[in-house]
Amino acid sequence: MTQDEMKKAAGWAALEYVTPGTLVGVGTGSTVNHFIDALGSIKDQIKGAVSSSEASTARLQQLGIEVFDLNEVGELAVYVDGADEIDGSMAMIKGGGAALTREKIVAAVADKFVCIVDGSKTVEVLGAFPLPVEVIPMAREYVARELAKLGGRPVYREGVVTDNGNQILDVHGLKITDPKGLETRINAIVGVVTNGLFAERGADVLLIGTPEGVVRKGA
Ligand SMILES: O=C(CO)[C@H](O)[C@H](O)COP(=O)(O)O
């Protein structure tokens, strides 16, 4: 079974968490693209979606799913998104696709976060995947120096501009023993918009695509 087939299995399994007649929060990435395709198969049964990126919005709209502005809707029952890493406490590193800020916003509004991954994304300790940090462009080098003081090695993701017009630093080599503490600490650096640690608001449900089928954790 290929990695993409495992992503597809997890993406389609997430349909189970979609309640007919509701709005669905939709993340970003190659795993979520499978979920969007699955949503397309039941598009007449849902009200629409709230999207976390221009890329997901375009894919949703291509399939005829209406995309709503988050400011025009109330709470969302469910948010479905992938992750770059997820640990046993359901804390994640996200932002490999540079959509971390909007992802964190839509996730914050949702009652339930359903994380969909292939088996390569589950880890004991977060941090082998470089931690993405979205920064205001004029603050990039200042933020990089502050991140280095925390023990990381920030690398500017050249050529990438986020949907919010900002830049990304990928922080290598961090020892993430306290995900919630580090999430708060990095967010306190002036010029940081968001960092890719989703620990304060982790996942509620984890669907892992494996060669043996989809493994579920949480409820
Ligand atoms: O956080 C993300 C985008 O900002 C993605 O969820 C994460 O990068 C996983 O992507 P993929 O499903 O393509 O492996």
14 in Cβ contact with 72 (< 8 Å): no
Q: What is the pTM of this model?
A: 0.97
Residue-wise DSSP of 188-207: TSTTEEEESEE-TT--SEEE
Per CATH, the architecture of 3-123+200-218 is what? 3-Layer(aba) Sandwich (3.40)
Numbered ranges of CATH 3.30.70.260 in the chain? 131-193
Instruction: Quote the pLDDT of residue 129.
Output: 98
Class of domain 131-193: alpha beta
CA atoms within 13 A on the CB side of 180: 5
Q: Which amino acid is at 118?
A: D
Name the 3-class secondary structure at 209.
Answer: strand
Contact 22, 109 (CB under 8 A): no
Residue pair 195/85 in contact by the 8 Å Cβ criterion: no
Q: What's the rounded Cα separation, in Å, for the pair 196 and 117? A: 16
Q: Is the CB of 157 under 6 A from ligand 1?
A: no
pLDDT reported for residue 175: 83
| Other Cβ atoms closer than 10 A to 99 | 28
| Residue of 142, 123, 140, 130 whose CA lies nearest to 85 | 123
pLDDT band for 62, please (50, 70, 90 cuts).
very high
Is the minimum distance from the CB of 132 to ligand 1 under 6 angstroms?
no
**How far does the centroid of ligand 1 lie from the alpha carbon of residue 31, in Å?**
7
For the cut 90, the answer to whether the pLDDT of residue 75 exceeds it is no
CATH 3.40.50.1360 positions along the chain are: 3-123+200-218
103 given a catalytic annotation: yes
At 136-160, the pLDDT tens digits run 999 999 999 999 999 999 999 999 9
